[in-house]
Structure 1
Amino acid sequence: MEEIRAVITGTLNNFKKLAGDEVEKGETIAEIESMKMLIPVEAPNTGKLVEWSVVEGEFVNENDSIGMLD
């Protein structure tokens, strides 16, 4: 399994994929709002999204673990 990490400090705004979904490397799977901009979180590899370890609206710091990919 591989961790999905926050790419920037901000508020996790929008999940594009949910646990159980198949994702492709580089695909936008969530967005983080920072300084009124939406920054995409991309899948680090192709696989299945196992879980999100945060909820929408939660504040995250850059490099925090926010989910798991299998």
Structure 2
Amino acid sequence: MNEVKASMAGSVWKIVAKEGEQVKSGEDVAILESMKMEIPIPSEADGTVKELKVAEGDFVNEGDVIAIIE
């Protein structure tokens, strides 16, 4: 299992992947908004999105888990 973590603090602007969906390494799982910039958060491994830990509009800190990839 791999954890997709926030690279910086910000608001979850958009969830790109859905639970149960296949993702590839480098594919965006979510997009954060911080200081009026959009920051894509990619998966670091191929796999299936087992669980999303955040919802659109949530605030996350650097290192917070966004999703679990199995």
| TM-score bracket relative to the smaller structure | over 0.9
d(CA) in 2 for partners of 1:22, 1:4: 14
Q: How far is the alpha carbon of 1:21 from its aligned partner?
A: 0.4
1:32 alignment partner in structure 2? 32
Trace 1:27-66 onto structure 2 (pairs within 5 A). 27-66=27-66
SS at match of 1:17: coil
Give the aligned residue type for 1:11. S
Q: How far is the alpha carbon of 1:4 from its aligned partner?
A: 1.1
RMSD (CA atoms): 0.7
d(CA) in 2 for partners of 1:7, 1:42: 10
Identical residues among aligned pairs (%): 39
TM-score, with length taken from structure 1: 0.95
Instruction: Identify unmatched segments of 5+ residues in structure 1.
Output: none
- How many matched pairs? 70
Instruction: Identify unmatched segments of 5+ residues in structure 2.
Output: none
d(CA) in 2 for partners of 1:6, 1:38: 13
Query: CA-to-partner distance for each residue in 1:26-57, whole Å, 9 max, x for gaps?
Result: 01121000000100000110000011111110
Query: Which portions of structure 1, spanning 4 or more consecutive aligned residues, are displaced by more than 3 angstroms?
Result: none
TM-score, with length taken from structure 2: 0.95
